[in-house]
Amino acid sequence: MYVDGYVVPVPKRNIKAYQRLARAAAVVFREHGALSVVETVADDVKPGKLTSFTRSVKLRDDEVVVFSWITFKSRVHRDRVNTKVLQDPRIAKMMKGPAPFDSNRMIFGGFKTIVQR
């Protein structure tokens, strides 16, 4: 399994808008072959002394951390799905206008699974 992971600061007032966007994007990802899409909002996340989820995105007082991941069969599968997703007109439409989060402080990357039970 291959995982794309995301950590995003979202203004608390924009959580519902983020949730709508994430639900719509999840439909597109799943239609193009993603195995799963999970979006979570911080419930028990405290600032660490050196690093933490909150520090990683320079979280502000009026924001909350969203931690998300999308699963794929492999990196090759992820690349194929992402190519299709980025060409989908529904995603292009979602990208127009202001985002409900600060994409400049989003952290993301692809990960190979080394343990799965």
How much is the pLDDT for 51?
86
Amino acid 13: pLDDT: 97
Domains with residue ranges and CATH for the chain: 2-112 (3.30.70.100)
Q: What is the pLDDT of residue 98?
A: 83
The mean pLDDT values, 10 residues at a time, for the chain of 117 residues are 97 96 96 98 88 90 96 98 96 86 92 94
Cα–Cα distance measured from residue 106 to residue 117, given in angstroms and rounded to the nearest whole number: 29
The model carries a pTM of 0.92
